[in-house]
Protein backbone atom coordinates (compact mmCIF):
# COMPACT_ATOMS: atom_id res chain seq x y z
CA UNK A 1 0.00 0.00 0.00
CA UNK A 2 1.28 3.39 -0.91
CA UNK A 3 0.76 6.20 1.56
CA UNK A 4 -0.81 9.44 0.38
CA UNK A 5 -0.74 12.68 2.36
CA UNK A 6 -2.62 15.67 1.00
CA UNK A 7 -1.61 19.28 1.58
CA UNK A 8 -0.39 22.48 0.01
CA UNK A 9 2.93 23.62 -1.40
CA UNK A 10 4.15 27.22 -1.65
CA UNK A 11 5.63 28.15 -4.99
CA UNK A 12 6.96 31.32 -6.65
CA UNK A 13 9.28 32.44 -9.42
CA UNK A 14 12.81 33.48 -8.54
CA UNK A 15 13.02 37.21 -9.11
CA UNK A 16 16.29 37.44 -11.01
CA UNK A 17 15.72 34.68 -13.58
CA UNK A 18 12.08 33.65 -13.24
CA UNK A 19 12.94 30.02 -12.33
CA UNK A 20 10.10 28.10 -10.65
CA UNK A 21 10.92 27.49 -6.99
CA UNK A 22 9.28 25.87 -3.97
CA UNK A 23 9.51 26.74 -0.29
CA UNK A 24 11.45 24.18 1.78
CA UNK A 25 11.27 23.23 5.42
CA UNK A 26 14.36 25.29 6.19
CA UNK A 27 12.70 28.38 4.71
CA UNK A 28 14.82 28.49 1.58
CA UNK A 29 13.54 28.27 -1.98
CA UNK A 30 14.46 25.23 -4.04
CA UNK A 31 14.02 24.33 -7.70
CA UNK A 32 12.85 20.78 -6.91
CA UNK A 33 9.32 20.16 -5.78
CA UNK A 34 10.47 17.14 -3.78
CA UNK A 35 12.39 19.48 -1.48
CA UNK A 36 9.20 21.43 -0.71
CA UNK A 37 7.23 21.44 2.53
CA UNK A 38 3.82 19.86 2.11
CA UNK A 39 1.77 21.80 4.66
CA UNK A 40 -1.29 20.02 5.97
CA UNK A 41 -2.49 21.95 9.01
CA UNK A 42 -3.86 25.52 8.83
CA UNK A 43 -1.02 26.65 11.09
CA UNK A 44 1.61 25.15 8.79
CA UNK A 45 -0.02 26.76 5.77
CA UNK A 46 -0.07 30.13 7.53
CA UNK A 47 3.63 29.67 8.31
CA UNK A 48 4.36 29.07 4.61
CA UNK A 49 2.49 32.24 3.70
CA UNK A 50 4.41 34.24 6.28
CA UNK A 51 7.74 32.90 5.05
CA UNK A 52 6.84 33.55 1.43
CA UNK A 53 6.03 37.14 2.40
CA UNK A 54 9.54 37.41 3.85
CA UNK A 55 10.93 36.01 0.60
CA UNK A 56 9.22 38.82 -1.27
CA UNK A 57 10.61 41.41 1.14
CA UNK A 58 14.19 40.21 0.90
CA UNK A 59 13.69 40.09 -2.82
CA UNK A 60 14.42 36.53 -3.72
CA UNK A 61 11.10 35.65 -5.26
CA UNK A 62 7.95 37.01 -6.85
CA UNK A 63 4.42 35.85 -7.64
CA UNK A 64 4.10 33.41 -4.73
CA UNK A 65 1.01 31.24 -4.20
CA UNK A 66 -0.10 27.95 -2.67
CA UNK A 67 -1.24 24.97 -4.68
CA UNK A 68 -2.78 21.61 -3.79
CA UNK A 69 -0.50 18.60 -3.79
CA UNK A 70 -0.06 15.18 -2.25
CA UNK A 71 2.88 13.10 -1.18
CA UNK A 72 2.89 9.68 -2.82
CA UNK A 73 5.58 7.27 -1.63
CA UNK A 74 7.76 10.17 -0.53
CA UNK A 75 7.42 12.17 -3.77
CA UNK A 76 5.27 15.27 -4.12
CA UNK A 77 2.64 15.28 -6.83
CA UNK A 78 0.89 18.55 -7.73
CA UNK A 79 -2.84 18.01 -8.10
CA UNK A 80 -3.27 20.13 -11.21
CA UNK A 81 -1.61 19.63 -14.59
CA UNK A 82 -0.57 23.30 -14.64
CA UNK A 83 1.59 22.83 -11.55
CA UNK A 84 2.95 19.51 -12.78
CA UNK A 85 4.07 21.27 -15.98
CA UNK A 86 5.76 23.89 -13.80
CA UNK A 87 7.71 21.12 -12.03
CA UNK A 88 8.89 19.70 -15.38
CA UNK A 89 9.07 22.18 -18.24
CA UNK A 90 7.08 22.27 -21.51
CA UNK A 91 5.63 18.86 -22.42
CA UNK A 92 6.52 19.63 -26.05
CA UNK A 93 10.20 20.35 -25.37
CA UNK A 94 11.56 17.61 -23.16
CA UNK A 95 15.04 19.06 -23.76
CA UNK A 96 14.15 22.22 -21.82
CA UNK A 97 13.29 23.17 -18.27
CA UNK A 98 13.62 21.20 -15.06
CA UNK A 99 13.11 17.87 -16.85
CA UNK A 100 16.33 18.56 -18.76
CA UNK A 101 18.24 19.94 -15.80
CA UNK A 102 17.83 17.16 -13.26
CA UNK A 103 15.45 19.17 -11.07
CA UNK A 104 12.16 17.69 -12.29
CA UNK A 105 9.30 16.42 -10.19
CA UNK A 106 8.60 12.69 -10.24
CA UNK A 107 5.16 12.85 -11.88
CA UNK A 108 4.34 13.30 -15.56
CA UNK A 109 2.13 16.20 -16.65
CA UNK A 110 -0.45 13.72 -17.93
CA UNK A 111 -0.57 10.20 -16.59
CA UNK A 112 -1.46 7.16 -18.61
Partner 1 sequence: MYRYDEFDAAFVKQRTDQFRDQANRRLSGELTEEEFRPLRLMNGLYLQLHAYMLRVAVPYGTLSSKQMRRLAYIADKWDRGYGHFTTRQNIQYNWIKLEDTGDILEALAEVEMHGIQTSGNCIRNVTTDHWAGAAADEIADPRPVGELLRQWSSLHPEFSFLPRKFKIAVTGAPNDRAAVRVHDIGLRMHKNDKGETGWEVMVGGGQGRTPMIAVTVRGFLPERELVPYLEAIMRVYNLFVRRDNKYKARIKILVHELGAEKFKSEVEAEYAKHPAQTTEVDERELARIANYFARPTLDKQSRFAPHFEDAKIKNKEFARWARNNLALHTDDGYTIVNISLKPEGGIPGDATGEQMRVMADLAERYAHDELRVSHAQNIVLAHVKLEDTFAIWQELVKHNLAAANYGLAGDIIACPGLDYCALATARAIPIAQSLSRKFADLDKQEKIGPLKINISGCINACGHHHVGHIGILGLDKKGEEFYQITLGGSSGDSASIGTILGPGFAGDEVPDAIEKILDTYVKLRAPGEEFLAAYRRLGPAPFKEALYAAA
Q: Interacting stretch for partner 1, rule CB under 8 A, among 1-9, 11-19, 32-40, 43-51?
A: 11-19
Residue 38 phi/psi, 5-degree rounding, is -100, 105
- The nearest distance, CB 10 to partner 1, in angstroms, is 16
Contact 61, 50 (CB under 8 A): no
Q: Please, is 56 exposed, middle or buried when counting C-beta atoms within 10 Å of its C-beta (0-12, 13-18, 19+)?
A: middle
Kindly state the number of chain residues that form the binding site for partner 1, as judged by CB under 8 A. Answer: 27
Positions that interact with partner 1 (CB under 8 A)? 13, 15-20, 56-59, 62-63, 79-82, 85-86, 89-93, 96-97, 110
Amino acid sequence: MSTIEKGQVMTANRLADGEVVFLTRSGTWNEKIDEAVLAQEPQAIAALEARAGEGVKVNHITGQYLFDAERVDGKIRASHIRERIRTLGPTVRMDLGKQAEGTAGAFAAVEG
